[in-house]
């Protein structure tokens, strides 16, 4: 039995640490939605848009760093995408999200708002969701607090977008995806994908894909 467990563990480590399977799993999520480009040509600029930037974490505020340095890289990338869309859509508001996890009185949503303001967004065009923790809570809170039939754009990581679209689609009509922070910039299989050299990076990507698929499965059973 111990030998079998050892073999199975070795095979799983090889699958997780080499690029092929992690890439197949992640791209099956990331390629479901394309990024928003050519905003002026592809979207009706006369409509009202709400750009909901989902939270992804931040660091404790010790009054040493500017607001943008307190946001985790995933959060900052999402926020920059939201600001880009806001500057392209004249009738839009930016919605930041994330609760105060450090009990210091400053939420992730507030840190994101400060950063967006420093990136040129009018503070009056920013709404906050200070109490949200999960994607489901973000969707429900947005619906109950701000939704009045606007066009809603969801900004999150490409791998997380299928789950975010599902959650927001439970509450609002036809949310618009704006995925960002792609793990792979090119579609299809390349020569490097056949490498058998293990890498810690691939293990992280495998874990990311498994996390998303596990959450999607959980939601499916939740809503049966």
Here the CATH number for the domain that contains residue 130 is 3.40.50.620
Structural domain boundaries enclosing 125? 36-181
Residue 86 forms part of a structural domain: yes
**Tens of pLDDT along 91-146?**
999 999 999 888 777 899 999 999 999 999 999 999 999 999 999 999 999 999 99
Residue 1 forms part of a structural domain: no
Q: What is the rounded CA–CA span in Å between residue 136 and residue 168? A: 8
Residue 8 forms part of a structural domain: no
Q: Are 137 and 213 part of one and the same domain?
A: no
Q: Are 204 and 148 part of one and the same domain?
A: no
Q: Are 79 and 147 part of one and the same domain?
A: yes
In this predicted structure, what is the pLDDT of residue 191? 62
Cα→Cα distances 175→50, 112, 168, 170, Å: 10, 22, 7, 10
Q: Are 78 and 176 part of one and the same domain?
A: yes
Which segment of 7-21, 87-101, 129-143, 184-198 scores lowest on mean pLDDT?
Answer: 184-198
Q: Are 84 and 109 part of one and the same domain?
A: yes
Q: What is the rounded CA–CA span in Å between residue 122 and residue 94? A: 10
Q: Are 49 and 75 part of one and the same domain?
A: yes
Q: Are 118 and 220 part of one and the same domain?
A: no
**Tens of pLDDT along 53-63?**
999 999 887 77
């Amino acid at each position: 039995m111990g030998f079998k467990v050892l073999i199975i563990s070795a095979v799983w480590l090889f699958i997780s640490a080499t690029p092929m399977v992690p890439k197949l799993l992640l791209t099956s999520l990331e390629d479901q939605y394309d990024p928003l480009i050519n905003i002026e040509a592809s979207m009706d600029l006369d409509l009202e848009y709400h750009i909901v930037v989902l939270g992804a974490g931040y660091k404790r505020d010790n009054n040493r760093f500017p607001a943008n340095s307190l946001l985790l890289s995933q959060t900052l990338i999402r926020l920059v995408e939201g600001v880009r869309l806001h500057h392209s859509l004249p009738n839009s508001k930016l919605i930041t999200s994330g609760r105060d996890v450090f009990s210091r009185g400053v939420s992730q949503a507030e840190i994101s708002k400060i950063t967006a303001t420093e990136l040129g967004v009018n503070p009056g065009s920013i709404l906050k969701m200070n109490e949200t923790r999960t994607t489901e809570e973000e969707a429900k809170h947005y619906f109950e607090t701000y939704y009045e039939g606007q066009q809603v754009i969801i900004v999150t990581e490409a791998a997380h977008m299928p789950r975010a679209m599902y959650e927001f689609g439970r509450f609002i009509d036809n949310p618009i995806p704006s995925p960002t922070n792609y793990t792979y910039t090119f579609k299809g299989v390349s020569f490097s994908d056949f490498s058998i050299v293990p890498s810690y990076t691939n293990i992280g990507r495998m874990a990311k894909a498994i996390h998303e698929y596990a959450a999607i499965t959980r939601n499916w059973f939740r809503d049966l």
